[in-house]
Structure 1
């Protein structure tokens, strides 16, 4: 029997150690209180089960008994309960109270169990704690176990009530609580009722497995596409497996017609109500950054052919591109055109406002900020695909005002794409371009998660970005 208990306890200790490593790895990616609390739980289970295995093989002594009591009997159930508080509590005060409760009982209980004298005989069976401890350690453990059982019951009821009227976050929290709370209560019951050693070892090992299941199992998708009536064609976007236990208040989305997949494909996916109509009359309104509508007079100089840029309203400063210098073959700066508010600062394209102009941007400008979280090792492939897409946008989309792909210095696996369009008609045309459909298709294998924010422009200053030239 002693060998059987030792094998069960050793297997549970190995499982607890593996679970601890998995939780630590996930904590590096996602900082959360419940992960920290359950790391303490699984580490304590590993120590407690290890002490049980050694005691059933070599015999228990004061040291192995204290390790089992402090780690397995005190810390493991206590921090399991603290972790559920951190998981389910929505108020910061409740989370802080959980930390204070766990830290205070750990400090007081650990000191008492480590310095209180033990009496009695030890053997190769799990000792009866009531026959070893004095009055203070015994009643301390009973008080802690009572608090743990009460906390687990409350957590179970809260999780079930929220699940009945909640979302996927509440469903995942309920699934975890339904597994962990009964297992924790059964483990505490084995301590209070002094059940035989094999059952105690099995329950402690089962608690490690329950934490592993609750944290490492596949999670429900948390993007906003669960509300989509008709997702865009093509492979489904990659889902983010993280986000477990986090809650965000839903925000109402505007009722806009769906657009085809492109760089902002999630915006197209969560829109509903295809109308099949576009307001081309919006094109007759004020230009992107305050330039007047209508054709440009013949005396306004256009960009020279060697630079071949699309007529998007881009202004080329003379100090950057050498306007007016013979070696670049560009015309000299022309005088200002008063009716167009254009200073003689360089070569101007049609529809351009002056650099530093105070005209308020058009209210029709439509923008997107898209945050991509990439798969490990896919950064170079994504950057190459994005560069090719930007080149195609630059040469074929005159109404795309800004299209920039950013890297994030502090997060190597993130890319941020910033887009501005003359209006939503321009954005609709942008989404239908072949290079955007290619971008949406080929990035699926590279992207782990996508978050999209729709923008409007209140104030702006736009000048050409410096470019790298090879001489």
Structure 2
């Protein structure tokens, strides 16, 4: 009697969770949500079969449906959802989908058609007691695959959190809950465990129910990285001297010590000269003049230190910039195909990436995202860089790595077109902003 009550309550909770996750999938059509829904439906099937078995006695059909739900569909559905969240590349996700399709179809046929042997008792049946060698082998293969997917995903997100991506911690917690649910399903389907097994299956239902909320919390936090509430205050060695400066990184929220501030860059050259050197097409062949001595520090000398640099230092030696050949500007067009229902999420992620790109440095000349009125699911990004190394540096920035990680959850596919600028014309102010004189 106790087994009937526990199995019935667990099945009722599981079917309710199936309805809730189905509603979530209709509002937010994502493949990972489909995985959570399928896992919940598999556990509902298993608990319903267990309730029927405790009520009328276990037999071959009830045993088959119980194993299909608890031993096959639910663990593989969790593995599918985890792959959709954690696989870094689209090709890898497609390969995992093909493997999952094979692991669903072939074992399902084997479990449904292979003969069932042995007498059933008034407890949860196990495959080792009633299936032959082949069904047990395919179930073992499925369970090993699921455990491998879980371990790989937990390691990947764990390393990201350890490297400083604290916003991904809720995702890691959600994956941990999903991993716990999968382990419980595998244990109960293989060992039975009687009434205690029913309690474990019901606990797995509760774990899966909470996973989507955790994952959505983590992804939402990653799209809106926390920023510091105020800029770091300057450290001072003495009351009248501020030898050390601290830069506040808007993108990461961390405070980095720059070191002794003597008015010069790390390479020993004047900031004003370095700022204007970017407008020249090539570096000067002549050696740079000796820099002036460091300006005096302290509050009493700030007016003198703020004076503009000598014109002889800011004017480059040699022929004018217009007489030199321009740098080979490097361009890139990326066409994204956004998944249905993910347009707003992708646009938000792209807006953050574009804003961070505008603050990251002068070598990214243009970075613009366009919508396509005739194709609402497409986004076209045009980028123009000072040269190819500038493009490679841009891809390596933290905000672009974060964009690549988050956008794959919204994008069905993308294509890239590399560009080599040969000629162009624009308004003089645009050319001046790009560091080009007299056309491209």
TM-score (norm 1): 0.47
Distance 1:113 1:227, change over 3 A: same
Q: Work out whether 1:213 is the aligned partner of 2:315.
A: no
Cα deviation for residue 55 of structure 1 reads 0.4
Distance 1:143 1:249, change over 3 A: farther
Structure 1 gap ranges (5+): 232-241, 257-457, 459-471
Question: Partners in 1 of 2:180 and 2:345 — Cα distance?
Answer: 24
Cα deviation for residue 200 of structure 1 reads 2.0
Q: Work out whether 1:140 is the aligned partner of 2:135.
A: no
Contact 2:171 2:219 in 1 (8 A): no
Q: What is aligned with 2:7?
A: 9
Distance 1:254 1:7, change over 3 A: closer
The number of residues matched between the two structures is 246
Cα deviation for residue 199 of structure 1 reads 2.6
Q: What is aligned with 2:355?
A: 253
Question: Partners in 2 of 1:255 and 1:61 — Cα distance?
Answer: 64
Distance 1:243 1:23, change over 3 A: farther
Q: CA-to-partner distance for each residue in 1:246-293, whole Å, 9 max, x for gaps? A: 98795263799xxxxxxxxxxxxxxxxxxxxxxxxxxxxxxxxxxxxx
Cα deviation for residue 230 of structure 1 reads 6.0
Contact 2:181 2:207 in 1 (8 A): yes
SS at match of 1:138: helix
Structure 2 gap ranges (5+): 232-343, 359-426, 428-440
Contact 1:152 1:185 in 2 (8 A): no
Q: What is aligned with 1:81?
A: 79
1:50 equivalent among 48, 51, 57: 48
Distance 1:85 1:166, change over 3 A: farther
Contact 2:60 2:116 in 1 (8 A): yes
Greater Rg by CA: 1
Distance 1:103 1:255, change over 3 A: closer
Distance 1:252 1:201, change over 3 A: same
Displaced runs of 4 or more, over 6 A: 246-249
Q: What is aligned with 2:123?
A: 125
Cα deviation for residue 167 of structure 1 reads 3.8
Question: Partners in 2 of 1:19 and 1:53 — Cα distance?
Answer: 17
2:197 equivalent among 188, 196, 200: 200
Question: Partners in 2 of 1:16 and 1:159 — Cα distance?
Answer: 28
The structure with the greater share of residues assigned to helix is 2
Question: Partners in 2 of 1:171 and 1:28 — Cα distance?
Answer: 26
Q: Work out whether 1:20 is the aligned partner of 2:18.
A: yes
Q: What is aligned with 2:33?
A: 35
Distance 1:255 1:200, change over 3 A: closer
TM-score (norm 2): 0.50
Contact 1:58 1:124 in 2 (8 A): no
Q: Work out whether 1:226 is the aligned partner of 2:226.
A: yes
Q: What is aligned with 1:62?
A: 60
Cα deviation for residue 161 of structure 1 reads 1.1
Q: Work out whether 1:158 is the aligned partner of 2:147.
A: no
Say what the alpha-carbon RMSD is for the aligned residues.
3.3
